[in-house]
Amino acid sequence: MQRETREKFGLLLGLVGVICFSLTLPSTSIAVEYFGTTVVGLGRTVVAAFLVAVVLIVRKEKLPSPRQFKSLLVVAFGAVLGFPLLTTRAMESLPVSHGAVELALLPLATAGFAIFRAGEVPSLKFWISSIIGSLAVIVYALHLGFGQLQFADLALLAAVIILGLSYAEGGKLAKELGSWQVIAWAIMIGAPFFIIPVGVNLTTEILDAPLQAWISFIYLAVVSQFLAYVAWYSGMAMGGIARVSQIQYLQPFLMILFATVFLDESITFFTLIIAVIVVFSVILGKNAPVSKQGSVSEKN
């Protein structure tokens, strides 16, 4: 596959991953009401582990090396433990639109960690586009009165930082271990430690949960926790971590759209205006040159 074609396909996979992730907060908001924070935040990994174990066994995948295992611990801490648990906690008290706005800062966190973890050096054009997108979502947050930080806000901001590191580490590791293998092994690392806390929080009351809640939980376990990461890490490995991370600016507005459809949350004209600005920053950043440390910048 030619380099240009490979990068375009990487961007497409990144978009697929973002669309899948965009249903995570709406699904969490529905499921947490009936299953609770621990079951939703950690239980999704336990369920996903059964699917992942079958895949790993059937494909006879080799165990990661000690060096790769260290990187997988970082991925597991962010993508398997920190982000699911923190966002689930936040969704107990915040609307999806609130969480979507704050998670829009994730591309900056990912790109920042990419500099240190993957050796990528975004150009000035890239950072300008990132600043435009970030300012847009900050203005959006202030307009809606999200300026005062609550515990849930702090949880979301912590989730952004933790997942940004996990994305950068996973994108780098995917180039040598394989995209789906990264999240698969991360799930297998975390799942054994989650079985007891999840089991303790299981009650007979969850059997009375409506079908919508069960569908949401299954989506979180199968798609959000595994399949979406396969597409996302593949996209970053093929298209570049910093560049593909720009697509995440679409995620908050896709979340708001899905929240409107599934949760009856309203969408305003101001939201659409901000969405246009953010999409423009994504286009600008997508075409920005990104180079490796000590090398000549990539050409568009």
**pLDDT digit string (tens) for 128-164?**
887 888 888 777 767 766 566 578 888 888 998 999 8
- More reliable by pLDDT, 65 or 1: 65
For residue 193, the model assigns a pLDDT of 95
Both tokens of 290, joined, read 């990104």
Q: Is the pLDDT of residue 296 over 50?
A: no
Both tokens of 150, joined, read 């609550």
Bridge partners (DSSP) listed for residue 120? 292
For residue 148, the model assigns a pLDDT of 60
Q: Is the pLDDT of residue 166 over 70?
A: yes
Q: Which residues contact 27 (CB under 8 A, 6 or more apart)?
A: 216, 217, 219, 220, 224
Residue 199's CB is within 10 A of a number of other CB atoms, namely: 12
Task: State the Cα–Cα distance between residues 284 and 299, nearest whole angstrom.
Answer: 14
For residue 294, the model assigns a pLDDT of 57
Regarding pTM above 0.75, the answer is yes
Both tokens of 50, joined, read 């059964």
